[in-house]
Structure 1
Amino acid sequence: MAETRDHGGGIDAAIARWGGTRADWLDLSTGINPVPYPIPDFAASDWTALPDRAAEAALVAAARRFWNVPEGAMVLPAPGASALIAALPILAPGRSVHIPGPTYNEHAAAFQAHGIAIGDATADTHVTVHPNNPDGRLFAPEGDPALRIIDESFCDVMPEASEVARCARPGTVVLKSFGKFWGLAGLRLGFAIGHPDTLAPLAARMGPWAVSGPALRVGAIAISDHDWAGRTRARLVRDAARLDGLMAQVGAEVVGGTTLFRLYDVDAAAWHDRLGRARILSRVFPYSDRWLRLGLPHPDAFDRLAAALTDGPA
């Protein structure tokens, strides 16, 4: 049986521990935008036909514009960033990888599954999550590895920090997640951006029709909507400050995060349990008894969270 790694989500497990039904729960354990992009109408062919090249080309063109992809770099769509993470080790030129932690645990798991050891900064491959999950720290390049992977799954809240310009030359891959910023994680859409020579083995691994017709349609429309993106970034800034204010009232100290998730210094187990009994799922980490991560609530759910925090441990 495959190892189960800790992640956000997992309402079924929360129900088993604290009770209730799925409809009772407020899931703040992920960093997914709680106000998703409105889903457009679908054509019947989105569901019945194999995705065509024109639909994929429209998505790639929208992605190039949105992320300012440099000339000569390639945009490779995939069925979620997780699918790309699992396959990225096939690009590694050596037998060790440097992954500064703590960070998103699927990167290390993917390389180890391919027999590649976790090493120090002398490794031929470096993986950095930028901004990092869960503490929000930003990419700081070290060394000169043959392959540098930069996971920008949460970087769309701060586009000025993107490292996509590095992809003009071989040896750098930037990952992008659609589900986080646009709030449609169930659609399963992600992107790898890099030089064609670097991404060629990954593109071959993905094969034809990797992205579904509905995902191609929604992705192309949503990524082209720059006005929505601007309004969303502004709202996330306001809502993150509102969440920090609620937590400060009960003695929690913000120690990191992005405007999609916030990281607090508290008695993590006590707060996780208290919120769980109020049917609010938070995120704790096996390597820290002080870190509690909360995704942003929907604007309509702040009062519910405030009520639960009032009775929580300080």
Structure 2
Amino acid sequence: MSAHAPLSSPIAHGGRLDAARRAFPHAPEPWIDLSTGINPNPYLLPVIAPEAWMRLPDEAAFANLDVAARAAYRAPQDSAIVAGAGAQAFIQLLPRVFPAHRVGVLGFTYAEHGACWAANGAKVETVATIEALMGFDVAVIVNPNNPDGRILLPRDLGPLAQEMTRKGGLLVIDESFMDFTPEHSATSLALLEGVVVLRSFGKAYGLAGVRLGFALCAPARAAILRAALGPWAVSGPALAIGAEALADVRWRAAAAAGCAAEAERLDAALARAGFELLGGASLFRLVRHGKAQHWFLRLCEKGVLVRDFPERPIWLRFGLPGSEAAWARLNAALETG
């Protein structure tokens, strides 16, 4: 079926509903987007003061966000936190402000890291082990990994972090999906000069449109990042939303438990349909099936968008349905696939 072609791109992403609608114009509406690892039950937006929309953000707003983020991410006291327009903003910024000749990426993983370093002139190589990253100028590790959920503990990352610091290199640890497993976070390494830890706000809190993310690192690197971002890198409303949400410990704990339970429910539904679980985090599950491309097309015809991988044609990644109605449509699609 040729309808799959319009969804392909050099760097495929989830959330391509506009392309899906063009490729499958007769699919039922509304589409159920399971192609992204975003919490489908978002944090309830707080009341935002009118001045947050009307004025440029002041230092107090950034300071409030810093305090909340520092506590939520368990950042070392002497480390720095830089706020920006999503983790993606830092993924694109790091190669420009910290240029490198050779970049190693622990794969198979999120393609934007390698693409951004390559676009800035680096020779990028995907490797299979942490030890293989030791000889590069820059090492990139997505942790938990997207799409298979692999987790490396701080003690696993420590030797590489120390080596990068010793030789003036850089270890980038992308923790965009770490919010619900904070016990595994490597933010304790952010004090080292050779480490930058990235965090995403939108995924766990279900507010990707807020465009908020953070880089945790040593103060010297933070100063360079802030200078490159310029003033007002985060909007006033995003500062207010982020500060309140990140300080809400009770909500985060409940969301973590809820998403973990929904992930188990998803595992069971996919197993009944004949998929083999390969891994994932609580916000997404990676599965394998010999007819994965058939399933991808069949689900699209039912108005259910999941994430496929041209490089791994027998893999699919499913996000969490956000309502009982969405669950019913997914289960029906899986039964008729």
User: Same fold by TM-score, threshold 0.5 exceeded?
Assistant: yes
CA shift in 2, pair 1:222/1:116, >3 Å: same
Which residue is equivalent to 1:199? 222
CA RMSD of aligned residues (A): 1.5
Select 2:270's aligned residue among 247, 255, 258. Answer: 247
Which residue is equivalent to 1:304? 329
Runs of 4+ in 1 over 4 A off after TM superposition: 20-23
The 5 A counterparts of 1:67-78 are 67-78=73-84
- Offset from partner CA, 1:30-87 (integer Å, 9 cap, x none): 0000000001111111111001111110001000111111011000000111111100
Structure 1 gap ranges (5+): none
1:132 and 2:132 matched: no
1:83 and 2:89 matched: yes
Cα offset for 1:169? 2.1
Cα offset for 1:102? 1.3
1:117 and 2:123 matched: yes
Cα offset for 1:101? 1.2
Which residue is equivalent to 1:35? 41
CA shift in 2, pair 1:79/1:93, >3 Å: closer
Which residue is equivalent to 2:3? none
Name whichever of 68-77 and 85-94 sits farther off: 85-94
Select 1:52's aligned residue among 43, 54, 58. Answer: 58
Which residue is equivalent to 2:248? 225
The whole-number CA distance in structure 2 between the counterparts of 1:44 and 1:123 is 48
Aligned length: 310
The whole-number CA distance in structure 2 between the counterparts of 1:222 and 1:209 is 20
Which residue is equivalent to 1:19? 25
| 8 Å contact from structure 2 (residues 284, 318) kept in 1 | yes
Name whichever of 230-239 and 11-20 sits farther off: 11-20
The 5 A counterparts of 1:142-291 are 143=160, 144-145=163-164, 146-266=169-289, 267-291=291-315
Give the 3-state SS of the residue equivalent to 1:156 in structure 2: coil
Amino acid aligned to 1:268: A
Amino acid aligned to 2:319: G
Cα offset for 1:28? 0.2
Select 2:100's aligned residue among 81, 94, 104. Answer: 94
- Offset from partner CA, 1:185-238 (integer Å, 9 cap, x none): 001000000001122221111111000011000000000000000000000111
Give the 3-state SS of the residue equivalent to 2:106 in structure 1: coil
Amino acid aligned to 2:65: L
CA shift in 2, pair 1:56/1:116, >3 Å: same
Give the 3-state SS of the residue equivalent to 1:39 in structure 2: coil
| 8 Å contact from structure 1 (residues 12, 22) kept in 2 | no
Name whichever of 165-174 and 221-230 sits farther off: 165-174
- Offset from partner CA, 1:1-32 (integer Å, 9 cap, x none): xx852100110110011115895200000000
The whole-number CA distance in structure 1 between the counterparts of 2:52 and 2:27 is 33
How does the TM-score come out when normalised to structure 1?
0.95
- Offset from partner CA, 1:144-202 (integer Å, 9 cap, x none): 22211100000112111100000122111100000100000001000000001122221
The whole-number CA distance in structure 1 between the counterparts of 2:322 and 2:207 is 14
Amino acid aligned to 1:62: A
Structure 2 gap ranges (5+): 1-8, 126-131
Amino acid aligned to 1:64: R
Give the 3-state SS of the residue equivalent to 1:24 in structure 2: coil
| 8 Å contact from structure 1 (residues 34, 297) kept in 2 | yes
